[in-house]
Amino acid sequence: MNGAEDYLIGEHLTGGYGGANILHDCNIGVGRGEIAVIVGPNGAGKSTAMKAVFGMLNLREGSVRLDGKDITGLTPQARVAKGMSFVPQNHNVFTSMSVEENLEMGAFIRRDDFTDTLGQVFDLFPILKEKRRQAAGELSGGQRQQVAVGRALMTKPKVLMLDEPTAGVSPIVMNELFDRIIEVAKSGIAILMVEQNARQALRIADKGYVLVQGRNRYTDTGAALMANPEVRKAFLGG
Amino acid sequence: MDGILNALILLSNFVIVPGIAYGSQLAIGALGVTLVYGILRFSNFAHGDTMAFGTMATVLLTWALQSWGVSISPFPTALLALPFGIICTILVCLAADRWVYRFYRREKAAPVVFLIASIGVMFVLNGLVRFIIGPDDQRFADGERFIMKAREFKRLTHFNEGITIKTSQGLTVVTAAIVVIALFWFLKRSRAGKSMRAFSDNEDLALLSGINPERVVMITWIIAAALATIAGVLYGLDKSFKPFTYFQLLLPIFASAIVGGLGNPLGAIAGGFMIAFSEVTVTYAYKKFLAYALPGDWAPQGLVQLLSTDYKFAVSFVILVLVLLLRPTGIFGGKAV
Amino acid sequence: MILTGHRGPIDGNLRAIAMFLGMFLALAAVGLMQSWSLALAILNLCLISAVMSLGVNIQWGYAGLFNVGIMGFAALGGVTGVLISAAPVTAAWQAGGSGIVIALAISLVVILGAVLVSKRMAAGLRRKLVLSLIIVPGYFLARHYFDPAIEAIEAVEPAKTGYLGGLGLPILFSWIAGGLLAAAVAWVIGKIALGLRSDYLAIATLGISEIIIAILKNEDWLTRGVKNVSGLPRPVPYEVDLQQALWFQDWAARMGASPVEFSSIFVKLNYAGLFATVLLVLLWLSQRALNSPWGRMMRAIRDNELAASAMGKNVTGRHLQVFVLGSAVVGIAGAMLTTLDGQFTPASYQPLRFTFVIWVMVIVGGSGNNWGAVLGGFVIWFFWIEAEPIGLWLMDLFTAGLAEDSGLRRHLLNSAAHMRLMTMGLILLLVLRFSPRGLIPEK
């Protein structure tokens, strides 16, 4: 885990929404082409950690670095322009707009021709090409998630952040979605995601972060965490 | 047979033609309200006075043009002055946003605070309009007054009844059609229009996609100002321009926007026609119509007017309440914030 | 908002007292510089405005209800002044009284029947059919009795009466009756519109107030419509009587004023006494209510509706209570206004003056604070009246350089009256922005 510095790093993250801190000295990082997964029990601050990295939380301490440059002070919008992309857990598609328009909106900050990227997203999620004229609100849960991820990929990001991408979808769809995510990672994009389905997520993870009460409890490769008996017992149900 | 036809002609003349014209005016007004609601998420009480302001600016230039002898007869000179009125109104709306609404946007204030602020803007605009042009009725229509006169219609068709179509009515319908098509093209096809829809649909996701909210808001005010001015000028050409009447139009306009579903442009158009036709049909006296349509001795004695014209507000109100009770998000489904 | 720390209460109270003192000094200045009669006239309307603003504050400040139909409730109170105090017109009652009564009875039966049907029958086509079978013939039946009766009533000496008249009771009763009538109408509206989103309540109340005014303007048999009812009996002495009374002439002489001027001041002082009594009683009641468990619950609901309803509070029910109470207070103020004017003129009810200016009063005074609402009523009414002379004076100053007969100068001077609307708007916007809690903030 040492050697070259990770592409995206959140260090000593401490902060919360209102008065009390939810995160306490939390460290997270992910390199290019890697998949990093944050797991942990409910209320462990997993999503909060994501938001902290994306600038949607007031940090009291700590910093976020992207490609070695400090971006702690940037707004989420500015981070999008710097090549970060975020897929929220809920309300992550424009329900009244067609699939194609959703993807177009994803490419909003791009001034160049994005037909290539559109083609790549359609290659990655063929069903979206089929349903391109349909309103995103009419799609099934799994298809919506594909739209959401597709929208986030339209900026050609260097980092893709996913907040529980498999929440509420069937196991088959989940596996399918994970396959796609691996594919995305292979293209050199750094992927940071929060997952409820810890076992399946760690299986595909290069790095795993187990958070408990806003602190790092275990940090290791996905395989190592899967093999760690304590982690298995406490977080993976034996 | 002639009786029935005469009855239908009568109905066209007094219900359908005025209904279509009034409906178009309401629809354009309601589109402005619904767009502002969709993007800025508050009911803009200043919309009626924005219409009045835009109309006033247009009227002033129309008078100037008339005094210089400029004319585009048979069309009313006001059409020539309309772009000027629109530009003035856009400037006023952008100024109001810059000095009033933007602050509350940054504060993330509750919708009702925006609403109260819009009442403040309403006062200022209302005062401004009365200050500049006065509170009285102003006529500014010129050019050919009629497309078709009842007398000609009768001469051509030999019916007892005739149809009158005023130029302002024809103009209203044509303009409304052009405006609506242009607006929908803009919303559906253009990048800016799509970003507006995205912002209205899901503000947070729009921000995550890098859509600049201030730009979306600016475009919204520009369109709303243009729509308000067009609606106001068309209404003024059709009837007359009186600042207070424009304030009162707020109710049927809001009713149209809510009936169709706040935030839904298609709904605003449908709502506008629904309100207009309800108003006209309920306040029309059917005596003559029934006299034609029914066999001789069945003709009614009274006026057969369901509601006196003085209560036309009641019509929009009743429809509004019914829709709110039965389908709170409007017939076409708007936002339920 | 309950728990937000308050600045020392003594401090806040001192500030409030100072502001009220300032207000009375301003009124005194008008008395000295313009005339005492004018100062008292302003004071009387200040008192009535304060009552209205108190009513709106009950709705907005206590419960966060956004009512834009204040004009309607004020007018309902106003018309009660006519219905209570005007002399009954016997000829009109004979001409059409029975027809009106029958028509009203039919309407009542139809409404009750419709309500009963829609409650008892299951929703569906059959219910719709039955409902329309009750309502449509019922409507025409009622009109069958109603229309000729109205015509007959309105034909009775139209230049002098042409309406049913009132009950011929002392006009002070209308202050209570006006409150009750406004409360009853508010109950019906509240039943329909409360529970909807705030924007919808606003628009619904805006609509209902326009309808109320339309009814008062057009139902001549009831209100004489735009022909107005004037010369309503007063609760205080008439100037002419006073001027002729010896004791009054003596008193005036002792005060060193002419009987004519002194009688006008005396009458206005009487009104001021009556209005001030009502204001103080209502203020006392409002303060009691605000600080009672009921008031605390209201504010808890206002600050977090979701939490309150999760705790089992009947939010809509409470809102209905507060809506009815606030509207009743506005109704009382409306009746007081008719009493002061001695006449009822439906056309004078303009939404800007009777709804939106009252809103400015509440916001400027300090929403949620009764004293603030009262102060707001005073300050804003004062400006509403004095904006015109001030505006005129300013315009005169600005245009001093222009020629005496310049068209622009004449236009500006003539339009100065409209300055007050702009002033109101600017005051509202500035207070909302820079001092959103108002002159006397909520504790």
Q: Is the pLDDT of residue C6 over 50?
A: no
> How high is the pLDDT of residue B336?
47
- Domain ranges within chain B, ordered by starting residue: 2-326
pLDDT per position as a tens digit, C57-87: 999 998 889 999 999 999 999 999 999 999 9
Q: Are C342 and C40 in contact (CB under 8 A)?
A: no
User: Does A67 reach chain B within 8 Å, measured CB to CB?
Assistant: no
Start-to-end C-alpha separation, chain C: 8
User: C374: which 2 tokens?
Assistant: 């009262």
Residue with tokens 């194609």: A100
* Candidate from C359, C421, C432 with C-beta closest to B130: C421
Residues of A in contact with B204 (CB under 8 A): 88, 91
Q: For residue range C271-304, what is the model confidence (pLDDT) as tens digits?
A: 999 999 999 999 999 999 999 999 988 888 888 8
- Under the banding of pLDDT at 50, 70 and 90, the label for residue C305 is confident
Full strand arrangement of the beta sheet holding A190-194: A84-87, A159-163, A190-194, A35-39, A207-212, A215-220
Whether the predicted pLDDT of B199 surpasses 80: yes
Highest-scoring range by mean pLDDT, B310-324, C165-179, C205-219: C165-179
d(CA C363, CA C341): 27
Which three-class secondary structure state does DSSP give residue A85? strand
What pLDDT sits at residue B4?
84
**If you ran DSSP here, which 8-state letter would residue C348 be given?**
G
Q: Enumerate the H helices of A90-135 as residue ranges.
A: 99-106, 115-124, 126-130
The predicted model gives C132-158 an average pLDDT of: 91
**Does A16 contact B at CB distance below 8 Å?**
no
DSSP β-ladder status, A190-194 and A207-212: unpaired
Min distance A2 CA to chain B CA atoms (Å): 32
C404: pLDDT strictly greater than 80: no
Contact flag for B and C (3+ C-beta pairs < 8 Å): yes
Contact B317 C198 (CB under 8 A): no
Is the omega angle on the peptide bond into residue B74 within 30 degrees of 0, that is, cis?
yes
Distances (CA, A) of C3 to A134, B105, C13, C340: 50, 26, 18, 42
Average pLDDT over residues C330-335: 97
Chain B residues near residue C414 by CB distance under 8 angstroms: 134
Residue B207 Cα, gap to closest chain A Cα (Å): 6
CB A37 within 8 A of CB A48: no
- B335 to chain A, minimum CA–CA distance in Å? 11
Walk along chain A (238 residues) and give the pLDDT tens digit of each residue: 445 688 999 999 998 887 788 999 999 999 999 999 999 888 888 999 999 999 888 889 999 999 999 999 998 888 999 999 999 998 999 999 999 999 999 999 988 999 999 999 999 999 999 999 999 999 998 999 999 999 999 999 999 999 999 888 888 999 999 999 999 999 999 999 999 888 889 999 999 999 999 899 999 998 999 999 988 888 877 6
Do B123 and C425 lie within an 8 Å CB cutoff? yes
Chain A residue whose CA is closest to B263: A96
Pairing state of beta strands A23-30 and A8-15?
antiparallel
- The amino acid present at C272, given as its one-letter code, is A
Contacts of C199 in chain B (CB under 8 A): 42-43, 111-112, 115, 262
Q: Which two structure tokens, joined as six digits, stand for B274?
A: 């629904």
Interface test with B, best of A105, A156, A160 (most B CBs within 10 A): A105
Question: B202 to chain A: nearest residue by CA?
Answer: A94
**Per-residue confidence (pLDDT) for residue A1, from 0 to 100:** 44
Q: Do the Cβ atoms of B208 and A95 come within 8 Å?
A: no
Element (H, E) at A28: strand A23-30
What pLDDT shows up at residue A114?
92
pLDDT in tens, C97-116: 999 999 999 999 999 999 99
Helix H or strand E encompassing C365: helix C357-365
Query: How confident is the model at residue C4, as a pLDDT?
Result: 40
pLDDT at residue number C1? 35
DSSP letter at B49? H
Nearest to B131 among C147, C418, C429 (CB): C418
> Is there a contact between A108 and B195 if contact means CB atoms under 8 Å apart?
yes
Cβ pair C14, C22 in contact under 8 A: no
CB contact under 8 A, B317 and C426: no
pLDDT tens across C334-345, in order? 999 999 999 999
pLDDT tens string B78-134: 999 999 999 999 999 999 999 999 999 998 898 899 999 999 999 999 999 998 998
Query: How does DSSP assign C27-41, residue by residue?
Result: HHHHHHHT-HHHHHH
Neighbours, chain B (3 or more CB pairs < 8 A): A, C
Helix axes C419-434, C370-398, angle to 10 degrees: 130
Distance CA B11, CA B293 (A): 11
- Which residue in B201, B207, B211 is closest to A97 by CB distance? B201
pLDDT tens sequence across B275-307: 999 999 999 988 888 888 887 777 777 778 888
What's the fold here for domain B2-326?
ABC transporter involved in vitamin B12 uptake, BtuC (1.10.3470)
Band of pLDDT at residue B152, cut at 50, 70 and 90:
confident
Q: How far apart are CA B208 and CA B190, in angstroms?
A: 20
Distance CA A50, CA A38 (A): 9
C284 Cβ partners below 8 Å, 6+ apart? Answer: none
**pLDDT for res A121:** 95
* pLDDT tens profile C172-211: 999 999 999 999 999 998 988 887 777 888 888 988 898 8
Q: Do chains A and C touch (3 or more CB pairs under 8 A)?
A: no
Q: Which of C72, C50, C60, C69 is CA-nearest to residue C319?
A: C60
Please, which pLDDT band fits residue C9 given cuts at 50, 70 and 90? Answer: low
For B246-264, the pLDDT digits (tens) are 998 999 999 999 998 888 8
Query: What's the mean pLDDT when you consider all of chain A?
Result: 91
Between helices C198-218 and B312-326, what is the axis angle to 10°? 150
Contact of C179 with chain B, judged by CB distance below 8 Å, is answered with no
Chain C residues touching residue B336 (CB < 8 angstroms): 197
Tell me the C-alpha distance between C429 and B113, whole Å.
11
Band of residue C307 on the pLDDT scale cut at 50, 70, 90: confident
> How much is the average pLDDT of C387-399?
80
Residues ≥6 apart with Cβ < 8 Å to C150: C96, C99, C100, C220, C221
